[in-house]
Amino acid sequence: MSQFTITIDGREVEAKAGQTILEAAEEAGIYIPRLCHKPGLEPFGGCRVCTVTANGRPCSACTQPAAPGMIVMNETEQVKDFRKTLVEMMFVEGNHFCMFCEKSGNCELQAMGYRMGIDVPRFPFLFPKRNVDASHPDILVDHNRCILCARCIRTSRDVDGKQVFDFVGRGANKRVAVRSGTRLADSDADVSDAAVEACPVGALLKKRVGYATPIGERLYDKAPIGSEIENGEES
């Protein structure tokens, strides 16, 4: 049973025992949208943007193990609208000013908006009050843009072996905090940490390197996020 078949949108796909739906799909050149998932990190299952149905039930493809004969639906109108709704909610519940963000063009949230054809979110903008922590000499934290994917937390803990960040608060008050104090400057965060590169949005940025790539040549200017998987390129 180490190798078996599942179907994704009716197409037969080979899967190995221990693989998630998302991994099996990716090997077959099928892109399932994702934001909190990052190769090299344990699956987290936080953002739900990778939602598919498996044997009729919604689940997160980044955490759900593939099983023999599993019938996965990835591109139904219902699934696509569910994901689009989630991404729209991320846009209204933070303060995402793309027009001056250093991450614009290389941002995975923005790229998801483009790929899903979001011209404007269907929900009212909340304009929450969020803080900026510019205390660290080389790293900027802008909570206005954070989507709570925990990639920084997990990367710092599991890759850098440092535990610089953690979540505090619940529900709408949940946010990323610095474990060792109130400011990033009080932590042992370093600009060479993998965690600094892990953020999908512009919430965690290296200082003094913004806007280096001209408009038109940035990561998602020409082709949608995920097309490297669909075209079978190494990402």
Q: Which residues bind ligand FES (CB under 6 A)?
A: 34-37, 45-50, 60, 62
Q: Of 116 and 146, which has the nearer Cβ to ligand SF4?
A: 146
Nearer to ligand FES, 13 or 184 (CB): 13
Structure tokens at 4: 């078996």
Alpha helices in the chain (DSSP H): 21-27, 77-93, 108-115, 151-158, 194-198, 227-230
By CB under 8 A, residue 232 contacts other proteins: no
If the CB atoms of residues 90 and 189 are measured against ligand FES, the closer one turns out to be 90
DSSP-assigned beta bridge partners for residue 72: 8, 54
Q: Characterize the bridge pairing of strands 3-8 and 71-73.
A: parallel
Alpha-carbon span 186 to 179, nearest angstrom: 9
Considering only the stretches 43-51, 113-121, 133-141, 193-201, report the one whose residues sit in contact with other proteins under the rule CB under 8 A: 113-121
Strands (E) in 50-203, as ranges, are: 51-54, 57-60, 71-73, 132-133, 139-142, 165-168, 175-178
Q: 64 or 144: whose CB is closer to other proteins? A: 144
Give every strand in the sheet of 51-54, ordered side by side. Answer: 11-16, 3-8, 71-73, 51-54, 57-60
Q: Which is nearer to other proteins, 28 or 98 (CB)?
A: 98
Q: Which of 101, 147, 148, 149 binds other proteins (CB under 8 A)?
A: 101
In whole angstroms, how close is the CB of 159 to other proteins at the nearest point? 30
Q: Which residues bind ligand SF4 (CB under 6 A)?
A: 146-152, 176, 198-201, 203-204
> Of these partners, other proteins, ligand FES, ligand SF4, none, which one is at the site of residue 47 (CB under 5 to 8 Å by kind)?
ligand FES
Does the footprint of other proteins cover residue 99 (CB under 8 A)? Answer: yes
Q: What residues from 124 to 143 belong to the interface with other proteins (CB under 8 A)? A: 124-125, 127, 129
For residues 230 and 209, give the distance between their C-alpha atoms in angstroms, rounded to a whole number.
30
